[in-house]
Structure 1
Amino acid sequence: MMLQAQLHCLCLFTLYLTTGYGQEGKFSGPLKPMTFSIFEGQGPSQIIFQFKASPLAVTFKLTGETDDIFQIQPDGLLYHNKALDRETRAVHKLQVSALDAHGNTVEGPVPITIEVKDINDNRPVFLQPKYEGSVRQNSRPGSQELDPLKNPSYKLVVSVEDMGGQNDHSFSDSTSVDIMVKENIWKAPEPVEIEENSTNPYPIKITQVQWNDPGALYSLVDKEKPSKFPFSIDQEGDIYVTQPLDREEKDAYVFYAVAKDEHGKPLAFPLQIQVKVKDINDNPPTCPSAVTVLEVQENEQIGSSIGTLIAHDMDEENTVNSVLEYRIVDQTPKVPRDGLFLVQSYSGTFQLAVQSLRKRDTPQYNLTVEVSDKGFKTLCFVQINIIDINDQIPIFEKPDYGNLTLPEDTAIGTVILTIQATDADEPHTGSSKILYRITQGDSEGRLEIETDPETNTGYVKVKKPLDFEAVAVHNIVFQAENPEPLVLGVQYNASSSATFRLIVTDVNEAPQFSQQVYQAKVSEDVAKGTKVGNVTAKDPEGLDISYSLRGDKRGWLKIDPVTGEIFSVAPLDREAESLYRVQVVATEVGGSSLSSVAQFHLTLVDVNDNPPRLAKEYTGLFFCHPPKAPESLIFEATDDDQQSFRGRHFTFSLGSETLQKDWEVSKINGTHASLSTKHTGFEERVYHIPVRINDGGRPPLEGTVSLPVTFCKCVEDRCFQPAGHMPGIPTVGVTVGVLLTTFLVIGIILAVVFFQIKKNKGQHNVESAQASEVKPLRN
């Protein structure tokens, strides 16, 4: 044992020498509270620190959480003789005391903290050798492909690595996981059919939904939000209809079932519930009107279709409940016999059962028709009128309506002639109604004919302006016809035609422009005298025309009075007016000097002829004085020229190179820039900073603007100005200076006056003395 201790001391001494311990510095020092960090797992006999004590101390004592690991030599050398384990103890709290020769404490105890630093020396271990779990089909993202019928379970191997698996010294562990795939029972049920107007007791269960786990709270949601919602759901997921449904009112319902947890949070997506209302035969047929009126001509052939009675049934279409059957149950009168008409059983179309009814036998028949569906019957009434056949043609009262002379400016809508034809067919029928039309002499449709439905009188009117220059004489042919076709063998002839001669007289008319608005487009920088457009007008009488302008308020244009060509006579300016509107007057030369007016619109195309400028007047720009740091302010530029579709693109720079040491201009975007100071050594005054702005146009134009920037004392981030100090009114300092100067001048004046008075008084005293000295001589 003695030899082993000596060897241990020798090893410590060797380590002590080779590592430099014992030298005052990093690894040795006075006895004081200290903290050391040591990696776990290091070999034994590792020196930590050597403490130095006062001369009275001859040895050291170590106490606390040593765990037989930490020891201290009499000379203050602290070391550990075993490897540290952070998982056993992460921090060791020790105390070191310095003792004299009698074992008395002369220093300390001093707290020493040993922090054990971790190294990767423990393998990760799963808490169980095997895990089990389950997942619902389609219950969460990533599980849509799971199908319990195809793969009811999965066996997984899960591995774990510490240090992120990025180190050669990392450890790992594995375990198995068994996953069971459960069926997802939260599924939309099949569509439900409910028979309308059911007499069963309500509520009636119609379907069910179920969440995968117990405890879900169910509710129904209808996005249409109807006034009444005839469905409910209980907390078992059973869905009920709560009252009778009417298919004719609503034939289908779509709503949603929702499952939520106890906190009201949805557990999954809503399920769509579809309910179709099944029809029953609960509606009788209805007639289209109180009486259905049909017509048949006297000469109709047997089997001809007369018309159709269309009844209605509110039950579901194309089902046995809405199939209607028609049957004639009565005919009034029964002359010349009963059964004159047939009706098709399922279409309701009426046909003639005998040939050639005669109106003189009876002009009207009334039929009672039974319309029935599977369970109901309804009586509808049909009136059939026998109408005369169209075997008579219209005949004009006279074949020629003579001549009529009208001026060409006769107003549109004027009735110029009344014509009359008669028809021997039954009055107020399609066989006797007369329609007039013009078949010759009015190819341009300047006339029209209106027919009085009561008298068949025709009124010939002016529909379009008459034109002497186009057609001076119209030889009109009228034709009278019936809207109902004539019977076979009867044709219109000359008796249904008439003639009429319309003579149009000339009226002096104003010139007529080829169009009412003329448009032209030129660049705003065209030279004076450039042709910018032309207009044309003609006089109906063939007179010469003189052109002139009206409304040329800027004096930009002139017009050739003969040709109608328009020229520029002054510089054009798009910025002043981009669309220049003037009137062109065409006046006939000679005659009545009539005139007409058209519009001339001149669009000016922009050129880059305006330099950039400031978007507004910047008069209140200031920085607080004295400035604490460089500052910036923002300004905006604009241009009177037309903006391109890409917007403005200005460039900015200082207008003077001598200012570059003090100021800087930086572009922010196409229209904005910032002016910044480069230092804080500015005086308290106004600086006028020139800034060059270039528009980058073709050709580019540049403008120089001045930004006034004031450096001033500030109060609450505003320039301070003494109360009552207005422009033109002297400040307090100036006022005081003026007053002092005034007082000084007054003082000087008073001093001069006082000196003069004193001088005069002295002289007067001398003279008095001299006078007193002379007096005795005189006596």
Structure 2
Amino acid sequence: MTKRMGYPDWRWQALWWHHFFLLWSTINGQTRYSIPEELELGSTVGNLGKDLGLGLTEIFDRKLRVASEAGKQYFSVDAGKGELVVNDRIDREALCGQSVSCVLPLQVVIENPLQLHRIEVEIRDVNDNAPSFLKSDHVIEIAEHTVVGVRFPLESAEDPDVGSNGLKTYTLSKDDCFTLKVKEIENGRKIPELVLNKSLDREKKAIHNLFLTAMDGGNPVKSGTSKITVNVLDINDNVPIFENTFYKVAVQENSANGSFVITTKATDIDEGLNGEIEYSLGIHTPPSVQSLFYIDPVTGDISLTKQLDHETQASYRIDISAKDKGLPKMEGHCSVQVDVLDVNDNAPEIVLTSKPPSVPEDSRSGTVVALLSVRDFDSGDNGKVNLQLPKRSPFTLKPSFSNNYALVTSGALDREKLSEYGIEITATDSGSPPLSSKKTIPVRITDVNDNPPIFSQPSYNVYLKENGVAGSILYSVSASDLDFGENAKISYSILDSKVQDVSVSSYVYINSDNGSIYSMHSFDYEKLKVFQIQVQAKDQGSPSLSSNATVHVFILDQNDNAPAVIYPSSAALGSLSHQRMPRSAKADHLVTKVTAVDADSGHNAWISYKLAEATDASLFTVNLYTGEVRTKRAVSEQDDSSQKLLIEVKDDGEPVQSATVTVSILMEDGLHEPILDLRQKAAEPSKKNGRITLYLILSLASVSVLSVLTFLILAVKCIRSSRSSGSCCMSRSDCDDYKNPNRNLQIQLNTDGPIKYVEVLGGDMLSQSQSFRSCMSPMSEYSDFTLIKPSSTTDFKEVISVLDASLPDSTWTFESQQQHLSISTTHNCLKILDPTTQNI
């Protein structure tokens, strides 16, 4: 408040304390304070923290602050006390002009969590302005013999204060010819008028000096004075009279300079110069209004000199004067009210109240992202604003109060799809045409561990040669994670499982960083053909997520086993195998048959026989594929009775593996030749042999039909299956064979040299080889089956022992085709092999 000289300090202090105890009130749920203007800096407005229910610690921790919508920061918060204090000089007249109500809206922002409150501070008027006149001297010319009662408008005083502190009354110094009449017009405005109370007589008194005093209603009263000089003129006794004493017109604020406003018209019944009228803006028109309007002195037309602005001032009052040219001049007056119509010339403005924080992607719907407000300086429908967000945006606007909004989430967020949003908010008013503005609010989405690692493929097939170096890399699996940072860091591990009753971790280990799988030792195909590894990829999120993939390791056979001779067996009969034959044997006589097996598979197990050394190489020959030892010619009397043959057995692997067997042949005279009997029996087959032959035919026919059907089924499935680089068999296993507990069949018709056999294979990937071989003795009359069980890993010495125990040497001298049936369970597919070409 402004202090004036002559007023004691105690009055000012009493007034300050009177306003202080009436500081604040709450209206409609909003905190409202009331203070006088011109308070000293640092003066307390109210305890804001207490009124908002906040403690001193919360005020500091949650960063309580205020923001003024008026632009200038008149207030601040004392964080130590929670009080709202004056931060700058507050001049009510500068803020609100002549408005009766002067309220400053404030926004109180509280962070962590984010809240917005609205408070209002009412600025009460203080009588710090005295009434004043625009001119200190006012000259009025009045003709003598002017009719008593004529009124002459005087200059009004202006007092920026309002209410009781505003202009209250006028007084006039004493004069017998004049009195003062105060006229109250619209809006409570008071206009002093000088009333002629007695006819003037220039000869008695030509000049009247009067003093007009304007006083306000403050305490103490303040006043202002203007001197009025009345010059008494000779008669021009008719005053110009306007057709209307009050005109009212509406003009759009976007009207161009020079636009016509209204025409005022006055008449004077005098003749000549006394009846010629000249128009002008009256003395009661403020200079600010005079700069906006122009009146034609001849026609009385009012036009614009500048463009109007409804937002600056919505209405203007213009005083018009009409003077004649007589002597003395007579003057008539009227008033024109110009209302400025609002035009939608201000676009809405979006004000961001708080800075948007980062939002976790798993935030619930309704999470507050930002606070904002919108304003439009236009009025009516032109100032009504609607906010709009883009379609399909996972955000929405929740209205708060007084054009304040909260931007909240309205749907699920996914950082992997979009890590940052630029939320474009469009504000459009209701004007015609509507105006709009846009504001983009950036919102960053933070990652949450909601995506498990994903392997490049659900299962992997690895083919590994046996006898490899321990520590060599088998394969590298890879997984990816759509998350970010620690949530996307992946570590690999092998889940514990059993391979041949041994933990898989004893076979392989994995690099936890890059997924590379290494062997712990060398593998033996004859002991382990296939095993499975469950690899887990786990991220480092909290909680961590994981996924698994299966690695199927297939051991590929190498030629690391030499052929083993199972007949004739040298282990049972010493270092030599002794055979007998008649000296009367003819050419192509079957002496014996060498049978060998190889623990390897495929080409590595194909066996061939060769006569390496012989007592008489011209007498004997060995079949390359069957191992049958026959005579090349008839035995003569000159041939030695004792013959030794060294037979070499070789496989087809790389490098070649071989074994030898020594056969000792003793030729005797008069030895019965069972071969002839056997041929006779073959010519007249017995019932038993016929029954065995029938069984063999039925078995081979069943196997053939099964093979054809299986082949057709696989062909149809391969055609229907998706594109794959692997074989049909592998595609089948990748899809669902591992889930099917039923074992498939694999039938092989093989010929390894002299051995004819069929392999029926089946089982899941984890089943180990279970081989059941049925060997038919070539010499047995009833062709009994002898079942033995070496798997591919069985020591073939056991096979030799079993065969030696079940097949006496003498039975092998008969001329018969050895037949060998093998049934084994290994892989999960079916193969049909040509027994002669070994092709699938």
Same fold (TM over 0.5): no
More helix as a share of residues: 2
What is the TM-score normalised by the length of structure 2? 0.23
| Larger relative contact order, structure 1 or 2 (CA cutoff 8 Å, min sep 6) | 2
